[in-house]
Structure 1
Amino acid sequence: MNDIGINVGYRILKYYLWQQFFFRAQVNGEKTRPSYYKVAHTLKEFEAEKPTFQDKHLYNCTFTIFDLETTGFFPEVGDEIISIGAVKVTEGKIQEKDTFYKVIDPLQTVSRKTKKFTGLKRKDFKNGVTLPVGIKDFLEFSKGTILVAHPASFDINFLQKRLHKWELPTFQPEYIDSFALANALLERNDCYLDAMVKKFGITERTRHHALNDAIMTAEIFEHLLKICYKQEVHTIRTLHELITDK
């Protein structure tokens, strides 16, 4: 077994032997706070008021392009969200002044490696908000829009699993995976963020900062929407069909 496998195995063992019990105790403590019930209520509202976008023209949709920074790749065994960044795209154009950014103070200690990777410091977490507060604010920012992430298969899944760990209501938003969309439109399978930034000549920002990555993803998404129009893909339904068929 290689070093990565050993590290993952150790973390899984650590989580199931004791960390999960510590986490549950912390969540039970958070459940006594008003912020917990506020985010639970907001999640229910988000689901109840989720509009149907399927036949709406892409030009008439508002998208919330977002990115998560996390302590790792495994939300099932304790990895947490430490920042959320987002920006809106309306009528096919990025709204640079309509942005969202929150640092989340996690329940577990953030490793030195993660701090170096994301550029976040101890003072950032100290001044950050709890997950319930951060998620509530993000939902309020993105309400009535379609979520977009690159890749959404990671960000949406991570959000869903962490909310489940917090014993919060189900989160099933309308979303687009811009990584999958780029692969379908460009007939490739390697349309990662850095590659698309270079392909479309997008100004590079400091990576692994949630808002910077969200803005670069939004700029990529602008280009993808233009390609959609050229390929006669005009609605959310046909966009999803394009991704599914590839």
Structure 2
Amino acid sequence: MKWLFKNKDKSYPEYWTTYESLFTTQNQDDIHTSTYVVLDTETTGFNYDKDRMLCIGAVKIIDGYIDVSTAFEIYLKQDYFDKNTVKIHGILKNDKFETVSEEEAIILLLDYIKDSILVAHHAFFDINMINVALSRLELPKLKNEVLDTMLIFRATRIKSNLIDPNKKYSLDELAEFYDIDLSDRHTASGDALITAIAFLRSIHFLVKTKAFTLKDLLKL
């Protein structure tokens, strides 16, 4: 008789059900007034099965302005560590940061992002790292809409035989193009802020010159 229980809903923790309940109504669809959360993760590497997040940084964009007063940055306990990646993120195994468990980090992150539109550079990696962490907690994937600043910036480029239409632009290239300070590059909070500035400048161009809407951005 086990088949009788196959469709029984899985019981999720309150923090997940609270987050999930925010998506029962349709999000705002205005490119200017929607709330965005621009995020970045620093990790021990690029292997979704083996590697772990070391730090998550994020900043909100509300009504077209970056709200640095509510910036988000948390460091995770380092149960797994790869010393070879320290030269990239600069986070040492026993650095004197206040750290939280992976589940605590997820709880704090879900409460911060709510139903905002998420923005990241090469977003596939960051969102997947978070989703893999959710899977380890036996939770579903993030429900937020996601925008990738690499794809958005690429949409601003002129069409020319001299420019590869499929070129993958790095965050450094965006920062150089927009003359954004790189002092905090390769920190989660620093990269989130750089990405937020590049995002705003890119969509300003797309709205002004190509009349882009939020729906257009989400189709990139």
- Structure 1-normalised TM-score? 0.75
Deviation at 1:116, TM superposition (A): 3.2
Matched, 1:155 2:134: no
Deviation at 1:73, TM superposition (A): 0.8
Deviation at 1:126, TM superposition (A): 6.3
**Number of residues paired by the alignment?**
201
Deviation at 1:136, TM superposition (A): 0.9
Give distance in 2, aligned partners of 1:125 and 1:146: 32
Which structure is higher in helix share?
A: 1
Q: Tell me, what secondary structure is at the counterpart of 1:84? A: strand
Q: Which residue of 1 aligns with 2:56?
A: 84
2:202 to 194, 208, 224: 224
Deviation at 1:130, TM superposition (A): 0.5
Calculate the aligned-residue CA RMSD, in Å: 2.1
2:185 to 184, 188, 207: 207
- With over 3 angstroms needed to count, the CA separation of the structure-2 counterparts of 1:184 and 1:232, relative to structure 1, is same
Percent of paired sites with the same residue: 27
Give distance in 1, aligned partners of 2:84 and 2:75: 17
- Structure 2-normalised TM-score? 0.83
Q: Tell me, what secondary structure is at the counterpart of 2:131? A: helix
Matched, 1:57 2:30: yes
Deviation at 1:151, TM superposition (A): 1.3
Give distance in 1, aligned partners of 2:96 and 2:106: 16
Q: Tell me, what secondary structure is at the counterpart of 1:106? A: coil
Cα deviations across residues 92-139 of structure 1 (Å, max 9, x unaligned)?
Answer: 22122220000011332x122223321112343763110111111111
Q: Which residue of 2 aligns with 1:44?
A: 17
Deviation at 1:240, TM superposition (A): 1.9
Give distance in 1, aligned partners of 2:14 and 2:86: 32
Letter matched to residue 65 of structure 2: K
For the Cα contact (< 8 Å) 1:163–1:170, is it kept in 2? yes
Q: Which residue of 2 aligns with 1:194?
A: 172
Give distance in 2, aligned partners of 1:80 and 1:150: 18
1:129 to 66, 85, 100: 100
Gaps of 5+ in 2: 1-10, 159-164
Matched, 1:117 2:96: no
Gaps of 5+ in 1: 1-36
Give distance in 2, aligned partners of 1:240 and 1:112: 37
Matched, 1:93 2:65: yes
Give distance in 2, aligned partners of 1:200 and 1:116: 26
Give distance in 2, aligned partners of 1:203 and 1:52: 36
Deviation at 1:157, TM superposition (A): 1.5
Letter matched to residue 122 of structure 1: K
